[in-house]
Amino acid sequence: MYTLSSKLKLTAIIFMIVGAIGLVYGFIAAPSTIEDVKEMMASKGHHESAEAEVVEQDSHAMASEHAQEGHAMVGQHEAEGHGEAEAHGDEHYEHVLHQLQNKPWAALYVAAFFFFMISLATLAFYAIQYAAQAGWSPVLFRVMEGITAYLLPGSLIVFAILLLSGLHLNHLFVWMDPEVVAKDELIQHKSSFLNVPFFLLRAAIYIIGWNIFRYLLRRNSLRIDEATDGRYFKQSFKLAAGFLVFFLVSESMMSWDWIMSVDPHWFSTLFGWYVFASMIVSAVTVIALISMYLKSRGYLEYVNDSHIHDLAKFMFGFSIFWTYLWFSQFMLIWYSNIPEEVTYFITRIEDYNIAFFGMVVMNFVFPVLILMNSDYKRINLFVIMGGIIILLGHYLDIFVMIMPATVGKEWFIGIPEISALLFFGGLFVFVVFNALTKAPLLPKRNPFIKESQHFHY
Amino acid sequence: MASKVIHAIYTDDDLLLQAVKQVRDARYHIAEVYTPFPVHGLDKAMGLAPTRLAIASFLYGLVGMTVAITMMNFIMIEDWPQDIGGKPSFSFLQNLPAFVPIIFELTVFFAAHLMVITFYMRSRIWPFKTAENPDVRTTDDHFLMEIDAENHDVDGLSKFLYDTGALEIKLIDNK
């Protein structure tokens, strides 16, 4: 049995408290009126440049007026923009105000989603192991189950944020704003899908579905320990297969709903896969990190460097898979350069250059170089190094998906962002390690457990 | 110099593996082992050095990448930078995404093919090469261990091999 060390518990609680304080500060520091924004900008002294940026930043608001011409017009506006800028100066400040008000919300949302997606994808990975009848992984099942314990609180928090958006407490999703929709024909055409009640209903269905599957799989896993026959294992096999079918559909729709819809003018067909790749690689990384931690504390007797080697292979492979999808999405849009699609990447390359390309280095170049060598995959230090970079890289990935549409140019990884990360990181560690104490770390009667104990590569 | 070798034939891979360990423990020198299929762990038991083929492959991949980058940069950017459908041929970086599929494929192409050719060369395999098989049964269901007789006591060595489970033990004049 694993016992939660008080040091770890204390660290997690401190993270949560510090994070919560930082988040509260982030919400207080966000400006509440246009005058605040003007003051802030004046004190920062980038008033002049701000005015030149007006048109670009307003492309969102503009798009509603010029829905038909859409973003194609932005370029032309830029040329004649300076004259117009004076005319709707206040409009610009209002726009910046919304972005600044979004900042703490978006920071909260990105971090909440990031940790939630780790536990969800861990459940998917866990189900894959069951469905594929993997012989190497059963000694890691309890670690995976522990990570999926965060699914319930994590998904409820994400749901709460979506609910608050639906109640118009923030502007994360522009299509939720009736004023915007009234002027925006493009969104109007999508409103049969993108409307708040249906959106929340869908979110509730995904969340309930995932959590039920998680509950049943965990319950079966504990029952297998006590059983005298293979009934519950067979049940778990069927459950896992069923979950994977449900997951594939719900994950794809979840990514449209929760992530793609922050840019309601843009769409991409492989987006669900892309988000999935990001999820699964983070999940495998977290499984590896937690396994190595528990192993170093002497709790996982049968986990050897071959198990870590396998996990590192998955980290390596899924990193490349992520890059493949990232590039496929980017290159197809870059190549054809259709205005209605390409704005997505133009804003990211222009305003998020370091984050956008930095994450490719972190999620691809670094893992490829560090985890290619078969010997390195057995060395904890290398896997930990690679893992931390991968996790940071995928946080950045989610960041770059959400931020451009919600805070635009006002992005910065400052107090609200780091605090949110600390808060959810602390909560994640607290919930996961608490769940690990609930059951023995070695499953007893799993049909593959012997093979797994002697697994060596 | 006519040296002599002993051929010991086994019919079971587990037995062979055990024998290899015993023979090495007794400090006899195993010249070669012939098996009809890869015996897992044989190389370790024989104490063979790990292959460096993967490292060679990585380097070949880097060569392929360099070839692709140099080629595309020269052709598309330096030699004749045309405007083809509005693609930005001003610098390599600007048009990089269009080149990535080629860079990728050539990297894989070089890594794979040069590694295979390296393997052939290092293993001395080519068409029309005379087979070096001491006993045809080793390609079907027999395992053969070749041990240098050198100046060992042949009878004692045969007895030792017999005890390890060898089915046939033959003294052969080498070359």
pLDDT tens per residue, range A158-172 = 999 999 999 999 889
pLDDT band of A50, cuts 50, 70, 90: very low
pTM of the complete model: 0.89
Coil, strand, or helix at residue B47? Answer: coil
Please say if the pLDDT value at position A58 is more than 80: no
* Confidence category of residue B175, pLDDT binned at 50, 70, 90: low
Chain A residues in contact with B54 by the CB 8 A cut-off are 374
Residue A331 to chain B, least CA–CA distance (Å): 6
Cα–Cα distances (Å) from A383 to A56, A69, A281, A288, in that order, read: 42, 49, 13, 8
User: What is the C-alpha to C-alpha distance for residues A174 and A74, in angstroms, rounded to an integer?
Assistant: 19
Given a cut of 60, is residue A198 above it in pLDDT? Answer: yes
Q: Quote the pLDDT of residue A47.
A: 47
Tens of pLDDT, residues B137-165 = 999 999 999 998 877 788 888 888 888 88
Q: Which residues of A touch B98 (CB under 8 A)?
A: 331, 335
- The pLDDT tens digits of the residues spanning A326-370 come to 999 999 999 999 998 999 999 999 999 999 999 999 999 999 999
Give pLDDT, residue B152: 78
Distance from CA of B130 to the nearest CA of A (A): 35
Distance CA A202, CA A214 (A): 18
Q: Which of A449, A445, A450 is nearest to A232 (CA)?
A: A445
pLDDT tier, A88 (very low <50, low <70, confident <90, very high otherwise):
low
Instruction: Render the burial of A152-177: b for 16+ CB within 10 Å, e for the rest.
Output: bbbbebbbebbbebbeeebbbbbbbb
**Separation between Cα atoms, residue A294 and residue A288, nearest integer Å:** 10
Contact list, B94 vs chain A (CB under 8 Å)? none
CA distance A357 to chain B (A): 13
DSSP B17: H
Q: Which percentage of chain B shows pLDDT scores above 70?
A: 98
* CA B37 – CA A108 distance, rounded (Å): 58
Within 8 A of B56 by CB-CB distance, chain A residues are none
CB contact under 8 Å between B97 and A372, yes or no, is no
HSE value, Cβ hemisphere, 13 Å, CA-based, for A99:
21
Please name the residues between 43 and 82 in chain B that touch chain A, using a CB distance below 8 Å. Answer: 54, 58
Average pLDDT over residues A283-301: 95
Given a contact cutoff of 8 angstroms between Cβ atoms, the answer to whether A274 and A401 are in contact is no
